[in-house]
Amino acid sequence: MPFVLSGSFTFCFQRASMKIIAEKINGTRKRVARAIQERDAVFIQDLAKRQAEAGSSWLDVNAGTHPDQEPDDLLWLVTTVQVAVPETPLCLDSVNPAALRLALQGVKQTPMINSISGEPERLAGILPLVAEHGCPVIALALDGKKIPETAEQRFEIIGRIIKATRAHGVPDTNVYLDPLAMTLSTNPHSALIVLETLRHIRRDYPEAHTTIGLSNFSFGLPARSYVNRTFLSLAIQAGLDSAILDPLDREIQTAILTTEMVLGRDPHCLNFIRASRKGIFDPPHPSS
């Protein structure tokens, strides 16, 4: 069926399955910050295990934003998480080269790095580490404090980032381009900008990967899970192949499963039917 599986409109349908970058071990969340401060390994390891078991490809680890403590805290997080889930790669969530350098010494699997952007000093500080360690890296469509307002501006920054990653010898297949999913309730075009940027990435950088941080998108709205999962489905159709999200949100998992089946990536619907038999679509227990 050449018309269906080729041509300018269909580039996004041949991507591999969506990969999940698990978001919950994040020191900007109060409960996690306390666990880091108190070196509460049990709490962190439980979060790590549950997220890994939910099918995450990477576990994001963010040690908070205290510049003095971040290197030690991040290394502690890395070491602690790896005791619980040695097989799951981490995603080192820091813009601090010193913290990243220390954490890279402690990892058992090649980690993803989260993140670079178009800012020259961030590129200069982090790209050499990315290149040296062969890490996948998240690249934000951003080059300053202000979020670029249009898809055109974001795509232009992405072009500059790709130029820099290529100049450092980082293959496009290791770059996860993030068009920035901003809050919909404050900008009705938030999703449109992401969807359009994704389509342009797919067209011009077919080897590169894409990602978004999903959770802030629905901030300020009711029924947030509905909003997030609808946006996620549309973004997968537009070319999204990974996302930073809560893998313990069953509605999000069902959205991924269903969208991939609808898009023909679960040929005999086996993943879907299997997950259904395991109860993923059942209503939650009244007690939960």
Binding site for a second copy (CB under 8 A): 1-5, 7, 9-10, 13, 149-152, 155, 184-185, 188-193, 195-196, 199-200, 221-223, 226-227, 230-231, 233-234, 237-238, 254-255, 258-259, 261-264, 266-269, 272-273, 276-277, 281, 283, 286
Nearer to a second copy, 73 or 196 (CB): 196
List the beta bridge partners of residue 138.
114, 176
CB of 44 to a second copy, least distance (A): 32
CB of 27 to a second copy, least distance (A): 30
Helices of type H across the chain? 2-5, 30-37, 41-53, 70-84, 97-106, 120-133, 151-167, 190-204, 224-238, 250-262, 270-277
Pairing outcome for strands 19-22 and 175-178? unpaired
How far, in Å, CA of 114 to CA of 140, rounded? 9
Nearer to a second copy, 113 or 238 (CB): 238
CB of 20 to a second copy, least distance (A): 18
Structure tokens that stand for 12 in this block? 């996004």
Nearer to a second copy, 167 or 221 (CB): 221
Nearer to a second copy, 8 or 105 (CB): 8
User: How many Å separate Cα 36 from the centre of its chain?
Assistant: 22
Amino acid at 213: G
24 CB contacts (<8 Å, ≥6 apart)? 32, 47, 51, 60, 246, 248
Amino acid at 255: A
153 CB contacts (<8 Å, ≥6 apart)? none
Nearer to a second copy, 2 or 67 (CB): 2
CB of 180 to a second copy, least distance (A): 13
Nearer to a second copy, 39 or 189 (CB): 189
CB of 169 to a second copy, least distance (A): 31
Nearer to a second copy, 144 or 281 (CB): 281
How far, in Å, CA of 216 to CA of 287, rounded? 27
CA nearest neighbour of 198 among 247, 232, 226:
232
Burial 119-150 (b: 16+ CB within 10 A, else e): beebbebbbebbbeeebbbbbbbbbeeeebee
CB of 285 to a second copy, least distance (A): 12
Nearer to a second copy, 92 or 201 (CB): 201
CB of 13 to a second copy, least distance (A): 6
CB of 38 to a second copy, least distance (A): 37
